[in-house]
Amino acid sequence: MVPERLRPILIETAPLAERFAAAGHRTYLVGGIVRDLLLGRPLADATDIDLTTDARPEETKDIVSGWADHVWTQGERFGTIGVAKAGRTFEITTHRAEAYVPESRKPSVAFADAIEVDLSRRDFTVNAMALHLGADPAAEPELIDPFGGVADLGGRVLRTPRSPAESFDDDPLRMLRAARFVAGYELQPDPAMVDAIRDMAERLTIVSAERIRDELDKLLVVEDPSAGLWLLVDTGLVEHIVPELAAMRLEQDPIHRHKDVLAHTLAVVAKTRPERIVRLAALFHDVGKPKTRSIGPDGVSFHHHEVVGARMTRDRMRALKYPNDDIEAVSRLVYLHLRFHTYQMGWTDSAVRRFVRDAGPLLDELIELTRCDCTTRNERKARALGRRMDELEARIAVLAEAEELAAIRPDLDGRQVMDHLGLEPGPAVGLALDFLLELRLDEGPLGEDEAYRRLDAWWEARNS
């Protein structure tokens, strides 16, 4: 019996399967869609369909010609032909065996004729399964599972089809990918695989920073990445991804033995909503603590760790080739993550305006990070922090409605300042606008007449 959630995909792939069969070739459905089908996960979001075949790339192009709406060949040298039909994308890849050669950042590709050879080169047994597709969508597709992926899914085990050393030698990025599968699918890593990651961690250095970055992002946005992040730490793989994290495994207070900074950090990551920017900020928010740690009469302290941490965040994200916009956003959140705690005596209107101005478009992310940064087991302290955050958000809402808080700017613009004071563009105009912005933050909207009066007084005092 064909599961109902699979039938639409079989219907879509049937014309392709028929064309390949007529040309003497077999096609198979592979990838995460097979795994998620067996797990009972919804397939509605599967916009791309991965297929593999014994046909060579040039044969695949001939087979899809005249049927596909669009064909693209950027991946042809790796065996992949892209096909679009009626809004659906298919990636059709020739059975292959690929491996990194020593010191190389790119795989060398060899094609294979048997599906079992192709599956043997895949990362994990739970991904090394395929469904043979026929031209009849009502027919039961044949499951190809030579490495026990179904049993491993049932037993919640993560293993490699071949020895872990062979698998990770082929593509060292699989060591990082293992962390994502451990966390995202709640799988227990096979002990032999953990040992191999520990022994081969340095091999990750041959993988491009961009691929490492993309895989780290995927790990961070699973529902709870904790187990995967701990796997990176415990095996030493983190030293080749975000080495600053390893230094955070220290006691905050050697006298009272509070939880270490790393344990706190990973708890904060898990608490934040699974969105990439806020999760990255959570990962880096205390990265400056080891460099600023000092012990005095009152215990341990980390003065200005947010400033140091923001700089370290920039450096690490640049090394991982993150886009500039991401670097600016995450480092800004790290820099601001303690700002809430500077307002101990209640929130004046001026303090609220400055908080919103400094956060800018990252206000929601900053509030999320601040809330989740509280990992204390002391319920009284946690409730107190929650109440203060609620108060701040309520104040922001009230002022936002009254003052267009999201677009805080001086009551006069640069042209008005220049016309009123008879100035040409230059530093004096910028100083005048800074003065007016400070007034706006302290007192709220002044109106143009009052703004001109204050500007005249400031200008006279400045030139007296």
Label residue 253 by pLDDT band (50, 70, 90): very low
Q: Model-level pTM?
A: 0.81
pLDDT of res. 44? 47
- What average pLDDT is seen over the chain? 86
Condensed to tens digits (0 to 9), the pLDDT of residues 122-160 reads 999 999 999 999 877 677 888 999 999 999 999 999 999
Token pair in block for residue 459: 């200008």
pLDDT of res. 90? 93
User: Which one, of 195, 124, 206, lies nearest residue 173 by Cα?
Assistant: 206
Class for domain 7-150, per CATH? alpha beta
C-alpha–C-alpha distance, residues 354 and 441, integer Å: 6
Residue 2 reports pLDDT greater than 70: no
Q: What angle do CA 388, 393, 399 make, to 5 degrees?
A: 125
Label residue 101 by pLDDT band (50, 70, 90): low
Which has the minimum average pLDDT: 97-101, 248-252, 266-270? 97-101
pLDDT of res. 258? 47
Handedness of CA 159, 162, 166, 171 (dihedral sign): negative
Class for domain 242-406, per CATH? mainly alpha
Range 400-407 contact pairs with CB under 8 angstroms and sequence separation of 24 or more: 400/356, 402/444, 403/353, 403/444, 403/445, 405/352, 405/353, 405/356, 406/356, 406/363
Q: How far apart are the first and last CA of the chain?
A: 91
Q: Indicate the pairing of strand 299-302 with strand 293-296.
A: antiparallel
pLDDT of res. 255? 43
CB 362 within 8 A of CB 329: yes
User: Tokens 């079992």, residue?
Assistant: 116
Rg (Cα) of the chain, in Å, rounded? 29
The DSSP call for residue 186 is: T
Task: For residues 82-111, give the mean pLDDT.
Answer: 79
C-alpha–C-alpha distance, residues 74 and 149, integer Å: 31
CB 152 within 8 A of CB 126: yes
Condensed to tens digits (0 to 9), the pLDDT of residues 286-336 reads 999 988 777 777 666 677 898 999 999 999 999 999 999 999 999 999 999
Condensed to tens digits (0 to 9), the pLDDT of residues 7-19 reads 888 888 899 999 9
User: Tokens 């919640």, residue?
Assistant: 156
Label residue 434 by pLDDT band (50, 70, 90): confident
Residue 256 reports pLDDT greater than 50: no
Condensed to tens digits (0 to 9), the pLDDT of residues 37-90 reads 888 876 644 567 899 999 999 999 999 998 999 999 998 988 999 999 988 899
